[in-house]
Amino acid sequence: MMITLKEAAQKIKAANKILITAHIQPDGDAIGSTLALMQMLRSIGKSAQIFIDDTVRKNLHALPHFEEIRRPEDGEKFDADLMIVLDTSIDRIGGVRKLTDAPILNIDHHVTNKGGDFELYVETSAAATCEIIFKLAAELEVEITPEIATCLYTGLATDTGFFQFSNTRAETLATASELIRRGVSPHFISEQLEQKSLSEVRGLSAALNSLKMFYDEKVAGMILDHDTAKKFDSTEGFIDEIRVIETVDVAFLITEKAPNFCRVSMRSKGVNVAQIADKLGGGGHIRAAGCTLKMPLDEAEKILVAAIGEAL
């Protein structure tokens, strides 16, 4: 059931023990929004705990209260009277789903979020879930501390590619401006976020070497087999290096994480890649989406290239 942000705030005010989660393969918006909301809820006397069922990229570990994020263990239960799911539909929260039977409140900005048998506030024009959480703070009458502001700014910055992507709107920059007023240092956050390990940079070179072009150079893809991919810990940002090719509308990266387990990332300048990802069992935004293809790498490449060709 779709609800308003005001109704979401009322639901939160009525709860006391709140479990917060976000998607697996968490990005800056997932981590930033959960950490900000946890601090906001605690400041109005709620008990709040974040669980995320995945590892988190190192450059987000410096965010305030990061060390308090827990990963669910097999068979573990958590006593809560509300579970808040941020930045995703509830199919991407892994083992957190089994921690509690508490009612769910889902807050998200993905067009592919189809909701379910619970309350959903989805604002697809919001650049980031952090933009929504900033507005929620006003509804909850919470003061935005410098720590909360830092978490929210991180989500805005990462989901917009530092305010460059098409999802950047006036409200995004107004929110960022307000967060800077509350104590955020954009320079400090940018420097933290752009850090890469040596192996990641070496990985980027391997990825660029795998570049393939399709459909009159309208589509660019990088394909990383398991042996190559396992040498480095993250492929974040790789796809942006080929999205910029002047002829390219759709860029993709396929990473064979394990045999028969291929992760797909897509970016576009026009084509609706959320629709392509949705058809393949994933989701995302019009110009940034992804999915998992549980099949051999060469088969995944064929299916993905065909699906992109159909959409062109």
**Which of ligand 5GP, Mn ion, none does residue 92 bind to, with CB < 5 to 8 Å depending on kind?**
ligand 5GP
CB of 203 to ligand 5GP, least distance (A): 16
| Cα 19 from Cα 70, distance rounded (Å) | 11
Nearest distance, CB of residue 87 and ligand 5GP, angstroms: 7
| Cα torsion through 210, 214, 220, 225, rounded to 10 | -30
- The partner in contact with residue 291, picked from ligand 5GP, Mn ion, none with C-beta cut-offs of 5 to 8 angstroms by kind, is ligand 5GP
Instruction: Provide the residue type at 35 as one letter.
Output: L
Given the structure tokens 């040498």, which residue do they identify? 231
When asked if residue 289 is in the footprint of ligand 5GP (CB under 6 A), the reply is yes
Contact call for residues 275 and 236 (beta carbons, < 8 A): no
**Count of positions on this chain that bind Mn ion (CB under 5 A):** 4
Structure tokens at 82: 């509300």
Q: 203 contacts which partner out of Mn ion, ligand 5GP, none, CB within 5 to 8 A by kind?
A: none
285 binds ligand 5GP (CB under 6 A): yes
Radius of gyration, alpha carbons of the chain: 19
Residue 44 C-beta: closest distance to ligand 5GP, Å: 28
112 binds, among ligand 5GP, Mn ion, none (CB under 5 to 8 A by kind): ligand 5GP
Cα(258)–Cα(292) distance, integer angstroms: 11
Q: Quick one: which of 32, 53, 80, 92 contacts ligand 5GP (CB under 6 A)?
A: 92
Q: Which of 33, 154, 265, 268 binds ligand 5GP (CB under 6 A)?
A: 265
Name residue 105's beta-bridge partners: 84, 119
| Nearest-approach distance from CB 110 to ligand 5GP, in angstroms | 6
Q: How many residues does the chain have?
A: 312
The listed partner (Mn ion, ligand 5GP, none) that binds 290, CB under 5 to 8 Å by sort, is ligand 5GP
Dihedral of the CA atoms 253, 235, 259, 30 (nearest 10)?
Answer: -100
Under rule CB under 6 A, residue 288 binds ligand 5GP: yes
Q: Is residue 131 within the footprint of Mn ion (CB under 5 A)?
A: no
85: three-class secondary structure by DSSP: strand
Give CA 217 to chain center in angstroms: 28
Which residues are at the interface with ligand 5GP (CB under 6 A)? 23, 89, 92, 110, 112, 265, 282-285, 288-292
